[in-house]
Structure 1
Amino acid sequence: MKEISFFLQYIKKPRNIGAILPSTKYLGNKMIEDIDFKHTKCIIEYGPGTGVFTKKLLQNRDKNTIIMIFECNYEFYNLLKDKFKLEENLFIIHDSCENVDKYLIRYEVNCVDYVISGLPFASLPEQVSDEILKKTKSILKKDGKFITFQYTLLKTKLIKKYFKNIDLKREFRNVPPAYILSCINCN
């Protein structure tokens, strides 16, 4: 069912969705493998879609860790609200992650350890990508990590403009196969 819903959203807004199917559990595992859940106070997720990564974050986090997710797509937002309605310390926000700083103030969060992203930077306008990456760098603590996946390395140069230290991995068990970029905020 979620695959059909995801595909329909892709048909409606391919530039915003970026793929025809949700991410696999294999990609989800690679996306979270560098997270030190034991010492993490706050994780932000951009573009959770149907919540593949969100579910893994919630399963592995300490109960006091705050997770804040940003979803622009209204159908996905509603799906996430319903799917995770019983979770504590989870803020599901229907807005662009370009406004992340405003929500950190609203929810009195002053330390972000990780930002996980499912955003399709290759299909977003460069000005939007620039703004998101600039804000991400500014909200992450020193040595915090920005972890994103992309289907192509076309936007690596743009990401390196903000994050010089990038660890690159590959996950072939995804449709399509994906690159995982784990970026350290050296500030």
Structure 2
Amino acid sequence: MKKFETLLFLQAFLKNPKRVGSILPSSKFLASKIVQSIPWNEVSIIAELGSGTGAITHLMKAHLPCSTTVFLFERDKGMRNNLKGKYPDFMFHSNASYLLKKMHQEHVHQLDCIICGLPFFNFSREMRENILSQITTALKPGGLLVLYQHSLHMKKKLAEQLIIENIKFVPYNFPPVYVYTCRKKEDGN
């Protein structure tokens, strides 16, 4: 199954490199670092933006309490359908630009946590700001954003809207990534 998922991911990258952002799925080292960054006992509603083939979703599933509401956003139809077969209890959506709209359709007002691997560097400034604004609005005060990127280009923008608790470098991923752990300010600003 791992080879199938790697090929599925590579195919999606070749079809649309600006939206996928990497030629390989997240490594087990990256997935582990992300999962370790989250206090799972505080999570009852979570979203993963850019789920890909589910490298992080797989580890996340093992930590989720049974009653957790999970939104998965994956633009590529092939990868999204693959995830639907594995995680039938999760809610699937194709476009993270509609995060708030999809939450409201499900009568969810705020999220405890968001995991995001969207390739912000490849997006237009308007798209990047739209999605980041929705992420900030979607998180409850004190909610957690765990974001992974291939550079530190998002640091200044994140610091304007969230509290950056730490940034960890994960060299054992191709390409290597930075994992930002950020928290929404308690006063909601």
TM-score scaled to structure 2, two decimals? 0.92
* Residue pair 1:160, 1:166 contacting (<8 A) in 2 also: no
Deviations 1:8-54 (A, max 9, x none): 21111110000010001110011121212123110111010101111
- Distance in 2 (CA, whole Å) between partners of 1:14 and 1:98 is 18
Deviations 1:37-80 (A, max 9, x none): 12311011101010111111111100001111111111111111
Given the alignment of the two structures, is residue 169 of structure 1 paired with residue 168 of structure 2, yes or no? yes
* Large movers: runs of 4+ above 4 Å: none
- Distance in 2 (CA, whole Å) between partners of 1:12 and 1:50 is 15
How many residues are treated as equivalent by the alignment?
183
1:59-78 to 2 correspondences below 5 Å: 59-78=62-81
Amino acid at match of 2:168: K
Q: CA RMSD in A?
A: 1.3
What is the aligned partner in structure 2 of residue 136 from structure 1? Answer: 135
Percent of aligned pairs sharing the same letter: 26
- Distance in 1 (CA, whole Å) between partners of 2:45 and 2:130 is 21
- Distance in 2 (CA, whole Å) between partners of 1:148 and 1:24 is 15
Q: Could you list the runs of 5+ residues in structure 1 that have no partner in the other structure?
A: none
- Distance in 1 (CA, whole Å) between partners of 2:107 and 2:11 is 36
Given the alignment of the two structures, is residue 151 of structure 1 paired with residue 126 of structure 2, yes or no? no
Q: Could you list the runs of 5+ residues in structure 2 that have no partner in the other structure?
A: none
Amino acid at match of 1:170: F
Deviations 1:59-117 (A, max 9, x none): 110000111111111111111112223xx3x11112x2121111111112233110000
- Distance in 2 (CA, whole Å) between partners of 1:108 and 1:175 is 38
Match of 2:25 among 22, 27, 44: 22
Q: Which one has the bigger helix percentage?
A: 2
